[in-house]
Amino acid sequence: MSSLQLGLIVAGILLVLAVVIYNRWQERQVRRRIAAAFRHSDDEPEAPGTAAPEVRVEPTLRTSHARDGTFDETATQPAEPPAGATPVYRPGPRGDDNPALAPPWTDGGASLAPAAGDESDDVATARPAIARARESAASATREPDPDIESIVTLQPAKPTGVGALAAGLHARFGKRLRWFGRAKREGPWQLLATETRGEFVEFVACLLLADRNGAASRAQIETFVRVIGELAPLLPAAMAVPDVSAEVERAETLDRMCAEVDVQIGLTVLKADAGSIPGTRLRGVAEAAGFKLSSRGRFEWHQDETGAALYSMQNLRNEPFTVDTLRLSATNGVVFVLDVPRVVDPPRTFDQMKLAAKRMAHTLSADLVDDNRRSLDDPALAAIRDQVQSASDALAHYGIEPGSPRAIALFGA
């Protein structure tokens, strides 16, 4: 064996060792980021003279105790609901479409859009919140979110284009997958797509840990890590992966936390004395007020500044609205729904929906009622608004700004 061959063998062994050591270092860095996720929930100040608990308590929320902006994480008994209000429901598989028997509470009744003059005042007041949402959106869409995503890092041996990741870019794991790359070390992240141009020295694959379909399962996370891992030797690239068991636990914790603050508010406009509202009239009134019929079978009211749907109007009969059904049938009422986590400034949006509900009830000669068909007066609506504020504060308390990209991801299907 020549000295050249011996030197090459030694160099190869050293290179392999260097890659292994670097991977271990990267994995440790990722684990530290994972351990830091949601740590702020455990960093509440302690009372003087009290010892820190030895066992971590998972965060819980009782919004009935949060009207002053504080949160009692040890409360176990819900407060009594305000008069004329009925329990709010949690939407989608997180709540199994069943009423949640804990506060906050909601009413039942429907809504119409605010008049032009009222809306201009609302928009002017809401501009700071809209600006914050836009800033948050810009930040969240251009970099990974380690608090809510499982992240696998790939560092190719040389700058590489997106084409080498084709199989990974189009992979489906049952949860949202995002890819980011950066052209130089410590440079800004760029959200990647098939048509992205340029070469990158680092890639990260980010799998959402929870949404309204539940937490990412062990099988989903294992498949995610395996599929991305199969790309590493093809680049070739050093890879850093999180611990699957830790990610599964983190996903379940995140999902439980989201379930605590997943709130929708419904207001019902009901035609009295078994009356009905012709579909053509309902459509005319809704569209005149600025609602648009969506492919989801409901009318939606969109914010002009952002284009986001602020609240929706659904058929009380639990049947989707379509052009044909509205032309050929009638309904005895409609339900307007405010999805609290998915809108910027939920209390203000509730104010708009409440005003719209009152106007629709007046226009259609119908009643604004709760889920038990009891009439809703201003004090009951004010109590419901307090609960909307509490739910909004609770989301922010856990680092989820209502209406932000993070909230849209966690509280989407």
Local confidence pLDDT in tens for the 413 residues of the chain = 677 777 777 777 877 677 667 666 655 554 454 444 444 434 444 444 333 333 322 222 223 222 233 323 323 233 333 333 443 444 444 644 333 322 332 333 333 333 333 443 443 444 454 444 444 444 445 799 999 999 999 999 999 999 999 989 989 999 999 999 999 988 999 999 999 999 999 999 999 999 999 999 999 999 999 999 999 999 999 999 999 999 999 999 999 999 999 999 999 999 988 889 999 999 999 999 899 999 999 999 998 777 889 999 999 998 999 999 999 999 999 999 999 999 999 999 999 999 999 999 999 999 998 878 888 999 999 999 999 999 999 999 999 999 999 999 999 87
Instruction: Name the CA dihedral angle for 178, 184, 188, 189, rounded to a multiple of 10 degrees.
Output: 0
Long-range contacts of 41-48 (CB under 8 A, 24+ apart): 41/257, 41/398, 44/73
Strands 292-293 and 333-339: what pairing? unpaired
Asked whether the bond before 87 is cis by omega within 30 degrees of 0, the reply is no
Tokens of residue 332, six digits: 């005895």
Distance CA 105, CA 84 (A): 10
| Three-state secondary structure call for residue 66 | coil
Q: With 0.75 as the threshold, say if the pTM is over it.
A: no
Helix (H) / strand (E) element for 343: namely none
Phi-psi region of 92 (alpha: psi -120 to 50; beta: other; left: phi over 0): left
CB within 8 Å of 372: residues ≥ 6 apart: 86, 108
What letters, b where the CB count within 10 A reaches 16 and e where it falls short, cover 229-241? eebbeebebbbbb
Distances (CA, A) of 321 to 71, 289, 294, 314, 347: 40, 17, 9, 7, 27
CATH for the 86-138+259-410 domain, from 3.40.47.10, 3.30.1400.10, 3.30.2350.10, 2.60.40.10: 3.30.1400.10
CB atoms within 10 A of CB 42: 12
Distance CA 237, CA 243 (A): 19
Pinpoint the residues of the chain covered by CATH 3.30.1400.10: 86-138+259-410
Distances (CA, A) of 17 to 5, 14, 201, 239: 18, 5, 21, 14
Among candidate residues 44, 62, 84, the one with its CA nearest the CA of residue 368 = 84
Sheet of strand 333-339: strand arrangement: 292-293, 299-302, 309-315, 333-339, 264-270, 367-369
Phi-psi region of 297 (alpha: psi -120 to 50; beta: other; left: phi over 0): left
